[in-house]
């Protein structure tokens, strides 16, 4: 079939109004534009289906004719219930033969009651890998029934790769602790941080602690429960909230629940079928053949919908979730959310919001979370029953791909437009916007690549300008703000050493985040005017009274963009000048941000 002559773009108001996701019973106008020479001998239909159900058709009517003679034809529709819907326009003969049709588009419909914590909007988040952030020297070294190494020299490279037995043990520790994080609270205030996200802090075998050994105990190398409570109190006094990493899909094989190595005084599932924890796990052939996360035998999978697991983690009066929320946590980032079944996520939201309606639930989802299919099942993370919001990996990927030339500005603009169109507004405005995490190579390393350090910094500054002004939280992975470098795990988890900060990068972060905080209304501004060309990307944030415009040009040529009257404030990187109502960018990697009162 040839390209459709039915012109439709859901991001354009004349085609769809209101834009984006909707709630049940909200009326939406859908309209296609027909060229003036379009021979409409056959009727045009608006076709829509709820995910997995049959298509419903609505015959379109003419809405208006443009000055150029084109017709706008469409219909109005309201969703009866929340869910994921797909729609298209088509021209059909009386016998049902389709003559012309548009691509299929997505319409998300979320619950009227769906709300997300207001404190997430526009926040600056700081992610910490606890063992590598700061060592206070005040936490006594514990005796532990495991094979571990204490690294005396802070800042040396972590042990990488397998040992002589071919095993990656992740058992070298540098001694970062909770008291060290508490000591750094004034530093976070200087950055404007209002949320600290901690990678796992419960007792575990490894230094990453995603192999939980005891959900009810702080890892003794990090401190005590009182240390955690004190950290939350001290942070709260400064207007900072603490978010924990919730690792609920699997435990460690070295744990009081599985106890493969017999290190705990409990009777573990590996040791005896009579264990109270036996039914928490899935054994094909007990004891050595069991389900584990991505085939890693030190991470045995939990049966999350087992009533005993649900009770322990969520439903009991002093469940894991309840215990740590009451101890001072303000919510959870859910590790591998795709691996958590709907029943678990439904129960989790109910309990978390029951204890603290303002607590957050952030999911680790690497793709578009609104339409994710995981293990052959469509997920409903953002309809209103499960997550508040998600980590924004699509934004990270788009920024890095665009600035390294792997993606055009047109593609990047399409990526961001799709997120705005697909995500419920409560989730979209609170997205956890990342440029790097403990699972990805360091931002500076990726953007420098084989280029010079100066070229890498120009790309970095452009990336930061996009990241800092997108709707949602700006999440900093510890050390990125001082220019830390590192490839894949574990070199992206080196020790934080502020004395070795790159002064230029540190200053840029500070100036950019200060600029961001000065625009008080930014957290509620709409994302508008998303534009892309081959080597250009731009967008705006707007309110009734203020406008922020970001322009990025990665190419080597000169590019000019109209900006109208002189901005009230401007921040720029690279060869950028503003004159006579135009922004001139003489590439490569130029970035301009201007703010003005409307």
Cβ–Cβ under 8 Å, residues 236 and 325:
no
Q: Scanning the structure block, which residue is given the tokens 């264990």?
A: 275
Active site residue 335: yes
Q: 83 vs 104, 346, 365, 384, CA distance in Å?
A: 16, 15, 19, 10
Q: Which residue has the tokens 């819907």?
A: 85
- Residue 227 designated active-site: no
Instruction: Give the helix, strand, coil percentages of the chain, each rounded to 5.
Output: 25, 25, 45
| Annotated catalytic residue within 172, 335, 407, 421 | 335
Exposure string over 375-401, b if 16+ CB within 10 A, otherwise e? eeeebbbbbbbbbbbbbbbbbbbbbbe
Q: Residue 479 and residue 497: Cα distance in Å, rounded?
A: 8
Do residues 432 and 364 make contact, with C-beta atoms less than 8 angstroms apart? no
**Cis ω for the linkage preceding 573 (within 30 of 0):** no
| Tokens coding 377 | 């099942």
CA 479 to chain centre: 19
Cβ neighbors of 32 (< 8 A, separation 6 or more) are 6, 7, 8, 15, 44, 60, 72, 73, 74, 89, 102
The 8-class DSSP code of residue 249 comes to S
Q: Which of 430, 457, 454 is nearest to 363 (CA)?
A: 430
Residues 58 and 45: their CA atoms lie apart, in Å, by 5
CA–CA gap between residue 471 and residue 296 (Å, rounded):
37
| Residue of 338, 364, 388, 421 with catalytic role | 364
> In terms of DSSP H, where are the helices of 194-327?
225-237, 307-310, 320-326
> Which are the catalytic amino acids?
335, 364
């Amino acid at each position: 079939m040839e390209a459709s002559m039915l012109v439709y773009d859901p991001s354009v108001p004349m085609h769809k109004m209101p834009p984006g996701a909707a709630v049940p019973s909200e009326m939406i106008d859908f309209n296609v534009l027909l060229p003036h020479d379009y021979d409409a001998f056959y009727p045009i239909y608006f076709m829509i289906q709820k995910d997995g159900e049959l298509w419903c058709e609505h015959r379109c009517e003419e809405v208006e004719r443009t000055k150029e003679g084109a017709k706008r034809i469409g219909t109005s529709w309201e969703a009866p219930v929340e869910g994921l819907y797909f729609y298209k326009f088509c021209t059909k003969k009386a016998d049902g033969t389709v003559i012309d049709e548009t691509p299929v588009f997505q319409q998300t419909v979320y619950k009227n009651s769906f709300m997300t914590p207001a404190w997430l909007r526009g926040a600056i988040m700081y992610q910490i890998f606890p063992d590598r952030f700061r060592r206070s020297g005040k936490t006594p070294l514990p005796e532990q029934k495991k094979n571990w190494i204490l690294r005396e020299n802070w800042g040396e490279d972590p042990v990488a790769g397998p040992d002589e037995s071919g095993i990656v043990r992740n058992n070298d520790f540098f001694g970062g602790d909770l008291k060290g994080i508490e000591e750094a609270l004034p530093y976070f205030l200087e950055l404007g941080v209002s949320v600290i996200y901690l990678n796992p802090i419960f007792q575990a075998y490894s230094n990453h602690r995603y192999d939980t050994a005891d959900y009810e105990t702080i890892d003794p190398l990090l401190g005590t429960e009182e240390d955690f409570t004190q950290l939350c109190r001290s942070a709260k006094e400064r207007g900072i909230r603490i978010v924990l990493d919730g690792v609920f899909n699997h435990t460690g094989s070295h744990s009081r629940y599985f106890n493969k190595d017999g290190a705990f005084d409990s009777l573990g599932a590996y040791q005896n079928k009579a264990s109270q924890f036996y039914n928490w796990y899935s054994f094909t052939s007990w004891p050595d053949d069991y389900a584990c996360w991505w085939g890693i035998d030190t991470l045995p999978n939990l049966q999350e919908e087992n009533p005993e697991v649900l009770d322990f983690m969520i439903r009991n009066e002093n469940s894991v979730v309840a215990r740590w929320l009451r101890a001072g946590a303000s919510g959870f980032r859910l590790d591998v959310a795709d691996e958590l079944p709907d029943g678990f996520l439904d129960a989790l939201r109910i309990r978390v919001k029951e204890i603290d309606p303002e607590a957050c639930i952030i999911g680790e989802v690497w793709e578009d979370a609104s339409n994710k299919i995981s293990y052959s099942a469509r997920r409903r993370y953002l309809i209103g029953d499960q997550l508040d919001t998600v980590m924004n990996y699509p934004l990270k990927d788009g920024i890095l791909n665009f600035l390294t030339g792997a993606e055009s500005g047109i593609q990047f603009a399409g990526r961001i437009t799709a997120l705005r169109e697909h995500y419920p507004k409560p989730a979209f405005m609170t997205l956890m916007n990342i440029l790097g995490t403990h699972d990805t190579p360091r931002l500076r390393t990726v953007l420098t690549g084989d280029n010079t350090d100066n070229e890498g910094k120009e790309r970095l500054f452009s990336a930061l300008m996009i990241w800092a002004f997108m709707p949602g939280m700006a999440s900093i992975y510890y050390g990125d703000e001082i220019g830390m470098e590192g490839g894949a795990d574990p070199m992206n988890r080196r020790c934080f050493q502020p004395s070795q900060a790159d002064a230029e990068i540190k200053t840029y972060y500070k100036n950019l985040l200060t600029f961001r905080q000065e625009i008080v209304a930014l957290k509620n501004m709409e994302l508008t005017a998303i534009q892309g060309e081959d080597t250009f990307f731009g967008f705006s944030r707007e309110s009734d009274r203020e406008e922020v415009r970001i322009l990025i040009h990665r190419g080597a040529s000169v590019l000019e963009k109209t900006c109208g009257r002189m901005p009230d404030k401007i921040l720029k990187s690279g060869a950028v000048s503003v004159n006579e109502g135009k922004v001139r960018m003489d590439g490569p990697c130029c970035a301009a941000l201007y703010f003005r009162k409307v």
